Structure 1
């Protein structure tokens, strides 16, 4: 692979290609989603159960039209603790109805008996309370379950079932969704400015700007490999990730067994999340990733100066337990994605929308 990656213009949204445009021979029809929070439902799949005792109170909550960070602040006030005493695994969408776990550090203190009353002015319901010995840490949940309602032209599209079936059989490009970049790509603009002058913790306490820069670079890499037809198939030197796990290995030779496992969605090619360290990929796969440093030197060098370490992300994601239901006015999709994958990456393959 000798062709270099060219930097995408700072316009929004970037023209990242869809997998289905070539398959279907045309872009998807227009559609709408998230007309109300009830159109976008998310449920966190933790993958284990709290133990029932300990100094941390774990809360299974449902929130509506509220960010995870704002709910953490409100829980801290309601339980009379600091925000640092609140734990959660994943940041969920604001314009949505979401269910997820939070933890509250209450050493030597009883569970507030009037917690629901203290949260009465908050669009949240406490569904379950249970104790656990440890704080809920970021990124420990296994997956998220989605139920989405789409409206508009896409509902009348006779090809939508074919599109959906193709995604179920072949997987979905694992793009970071538009939420990561903010309205009009504002987070990326801010990330460029912060990294150009030198990242400091006080400018980005949650690390969101670092994540934004890495996400943009990853999407750029995925877009290039998708255009070249290598997003779902492996190149020599690719690092392959076992579906549903963090297990990975480099494949210097792509034999028939590996190609079959890739076809069955048991393995996925991966791309770099930029930072310090050496690329785990080699040969043809590494050439795509090395080209990022040429195309976006300010972002790559800024991330390295910030000290964030390189890691890997699958280029493709498999839909778990997928289902599609249609009536006269709506399409309802339900599916499960591993943590870190975006439902909006699925939706943009099915319909065109300005936010996607």
Structure 2
């Protein structure tokens, strides 16, 4: 099984990348939500169309709630957007807040319009996202390679990997999730405090060193405030609690986040194994119907391949869970082998209430445009919800240290 995101294969391996960097400036990365449905104009909720910069979606939610004097739970959103970007997205608040909107003053945030609707916005209530991204410092004669890569991605699809950001700055959220799933509390704690070259911070390395010496109070003092879960573990350990109690006291939602990262890692591994034929239907596959997530068992591959070529369906991979539908044939055998190698079963996920599902191995890349300018290469495209722009960019750039923060439309 692959060690991590950096080692995953490229669909366009034979075409050299153009290199470059993104997100040199916030407006180098622009993303606009495509709503799943229009606001009706009537109802008990108010949809706000917002432009934001230098603020995360969650910080925006809390600040709007505070200024409108409502609970953060009353603020709905369809997806989370990165702070180091210019984003246009929708939030919902109770319609009773309409008269108070003029009081909302948040740096970097503009409420562009608002309209009433019958229901609150929830995660996933969007059709997709439109991205416009500037790649700077590209190699010479990059345009031909960009064209060749995009031709393949538009014809065959973009590999639907979970992006590198899914696995955290230390690239270990999936390892923590596996340890939690197996109930290995000591391994869970140790993995939180393992050395990692992705974090060049003397304070973090000092905290790790203190942890290994069991100097938990000292480790807690030097660790940055943003490492809240790690600080919780250190506080519990310093008080004399064991690893079991310390891990079990981690908030449930955070524990589930780590186990979901492990699910994502396993899915990426199966996609990587099938990357060369991600647009080929096989006997026993569970094919996903586009658009949507409905699946069916493939019994006649030659018949279904025509639909696959038309991008009506695609083969799917596992988001393992205790109620996940299992494929047959070669795909089914591969998934069973992975579970066996990992020492888990589908039932292992039941304690975390993770039912599992199927995820398409590819997604469509639409409305593609690109233009070379004096600043670099501007590229724009549309991806369905829950998909990572950085995975498409990875195919184009093939940068050796490709690590880009990007928030998710997943939860």
* From 262, 282, 296, the counterpart of 1:213: 262
- Residue 397 of structure 2 corresponds to residue 347 of structure 1: no
What displacement does 1:41 show? 0.9
Count of residue correspondences: 338
- Residue 361 of structure 2 corresponds to residue 334 of structure 1: no
- Residue 81 of structure 2 corresponds to residue 92 of structure 1: yes
Q: TM-score, normalised by structure 2?
A: 0.76
- Residue 59 of structure 2 corresponds to residue 70 of structure 1: yes
What displacement does 1:298 show? 5.5
The answer (yes or no) to whether the contact 1:88–1:138 under 8 Å persists in 2 is yes
Q: Distance in 1 between matches of 2:346 and 2:30?
A: 35
Q: Distance in 2 between matches of 1:287 and 1:151?
A: 44
CA RMSD of aligned residues (A): 2.3
Q: Counterpart in 2 of 1:234?
A: 281
- Residue 300 of structure 2 corresponds to residue 253 of structure 1: yes
* From 93, 98, 105, the counterpart of 1:111: 98
* From 9, 20, 33, the counterpart of 1:17: 9
Q: Distance in 2 between matches of 1:285 and 1:254?
A: 13
Structure 1 residues 139-186: Cα deviation after superposition (integer angstroms, max 9, x where no partner)? 121111111111123464242221122212221111111222221314
* From 163, 182, 188, the counterpart of 1:177: 163
Extract unaligned runs of 5+ from structure 1.
1-6
- Structure number with the higher helix fraction is 2
Change (3 A) 1:160 1:272: same
Q: Distance in 2 between matches of 1:32 and 1:169?
A: 26
What displacement does 1:72 show? 1.2
5 Å matches for 1:1-356?
Answer: 7-9=1-3, 13-21=5-13, 23-24=14-15, 27-106=16-95, 109-113=96-100, 115-120=101-106, 122-154=107-139, 156-157=141-142, 158-197=144-183, 203-205=251-253, 207-226=256-275, 229-255=276-302, 257-297=303-343, 302-353=348-399, 354-356=401-403
Change (3 A) 1:355 1:8: same
What displacement does 1:202 show? 5.2
Change (3 A) 1:351 1:110: closer
Q: TM-score, normalised by structure 1?
A: 0.87
Structure 1 residues 190-247: Cα deviation after superposition (integer angstroms, max 9, x where no partner)? 4234334388695242643233122111111101111xx3322112111111222223
Larger radius of gyration, structure 1 or 2?
A: 2
Structure 1 residues 72-100: Cα deviation after superposition (integer angstroms, max 9, x where no partner)? 11111111111111111112223211111
Extract unaligned runs of 5+ from structure 2.
185-246, 404-411
